[in-house]
Structure 1
Amino acid sequence: MTSAARVRRAERADLPRVAELAAQHARYERAEPPVPDLADRLAALLFDGRDGVDGPAPRLVCLLAELPGGEVVGYATCSPVLSTWDGREYLHMDCLFLAPGRRGLGLGALLMDAVVAEGRRRGLSEVQWQTPAWNEGAIRFYDRLGGRALEKVRYSLPVSR
């Protein structure tokens, strides 16, 4: 494990770096690039008028893997989602990504620990996530953590405006 590495919540000033990492993540997963104004969109979900005190809690949580010296090399995002079948919320981890050359150092486990802690803090009993079927490294990582794979196919359907 990278000594003295830490995981912390993203701050507004981190959002350009988060957007860069998201672009790397999209390339890695062979997906379309993020929208050009991603940092602004994330700010609205993470910070704007949603602090849990003066308004509703943030809709999205962004956790950052930071090396000694302050270099942000990875991120995880999560948010609560409803399960109809269970009649409860669970924490959905939308993204977990580490920059190339920063994998295998224990940072992914630190991010997962922080995501699980977020679920626990919210009183939720489960975290769910997905990864591409071809991402064998991620599958091995999640299996080592004790994750249980669920067989589903994810769909997307654009909504016309």
Structure 2
Amino acid sequence: MIEADDGSRIEVRPGRREDAPQAARLWLESAREHAAYDAVYEPSLDAEKMMRNFLADLSSGGHTFLFVACVPDSERDGTERVVGFVSGELREGSPTFRPRSWASVDDVYVTPAYRSFGIGMNLMHRVRNWALERGTSGVSLQVATGNRRAQDFYRKLDFRAVSIYEVLEFSAPEDA
């Protein structure tokens, strides 16, 4: 259990299907933040709906993970509000390299009001333990080149950069 400045208790736990709508809204916040780094991260119009379905499926898979950070919802008695999440899946490395499997983090996000309380660290430790239980080679992820805060955070967790993801975008043809 983590405690925020306002005294609220933050629980980090495995995600459930019913957490998917709130986690999908957080994913959309994350995408909008990332769009400030590069337009390639602009979400589609139906992105939240697609993520809601995707995250609901992740919560019940044996090769996928969803962990959420929750606080009691002061506006609705007995309910929780999701303030952070991490999601991903097991992935096999390239067959051309030494055999490895990875717990691949697809998305991790903590709402700005709840940053710097250790939530992200706790979420990533959950992923690490999940990966160790499955005998993987480690944890992998991608991070936006403009997101220095996230890069510094991952360095504190002993991640190291091993490749650079590059894109070449073609401009969209004018309406014909």
Q: Shorter-chain TM-score: what band?
A: 0.7 to 0.9
**2:85 aligned to 61, 75, 84, which one?**
75
CA separation of 1:14 and 1:66: change in aligned 2, threshold 3 A: same
Matched-pair contact (CA < 8 Å) for 2:28–2:48: no
1:40 aligned residue:
53
User: Does the 8 A contact of 1:2 with 1:67 survive in 2?
Assistant: no
- State which of 17, 20, 24 in structure 1 corresponds to 2:29: 24
Gap regions ≥5 residues in structure 2: 4-8, 36-40, 74-79, 170-176
Aligned partner letter, 2:160:
R
Structure 1 CA distance for aligned equivalents of residues 49 and 168 of structure 2: 21
In 1, are the aligned partners of 2:68 and 2:83 still within 8 Å (CA)? yes
The alignment status of 1:142 with 2:159, answered yes or no, reads no
Note the 1:67-146 alignment, pairs <5 A.
67=71, 70-84=80-94, 85-146=97-158
**Structure 2 contact 10–69 (Cα < 8 Å) conserved:** yes
CA RMSD of aligned residues (A): 2.3
State the percentage of identical aligned residues. Answer: 28
Letter in 2 for 1:9: P
How much does 1:5 deviate?
A: 2.4
**Distance in 2 (alpha carbons) for counterparts of 1:43 and 1:142:** 26
* TM superposition outliers: structure 1 runs of 4+ over 4 Å: 154-157
143-152 or 129-138: which moved more? 143-152
Provide TM-score, normalisation by structure 2. Answer: 0.75
Q: Secondary structure at the match of 1:62?
A: strand
TM-score (norm 1): 0.81
Alpha-carbon distance in structure 2 between the residues aligned to 1:95 and 1:120: 19
The structure 1 residue matched to 2:69, chosen from 58, 65, 82, is 65
Deviations 1:72-117 (A, max 9, x none): 1000012111112121311111111101211111111000100101
User: Structure 1 regions of 5+ residues with no counterpart?
Assistant: 51-56
* Partners of 1:44 and 1:78 in 2: CA distance: 11
- Contact 2:25 2:48 (C-alpha < 8 Å) held by counterparts: no
Which residue, 3, 11, 19 being the options, matches 1:6?
11
Cα distance between partner residues in 1 of 2:147 and 2:113: 16
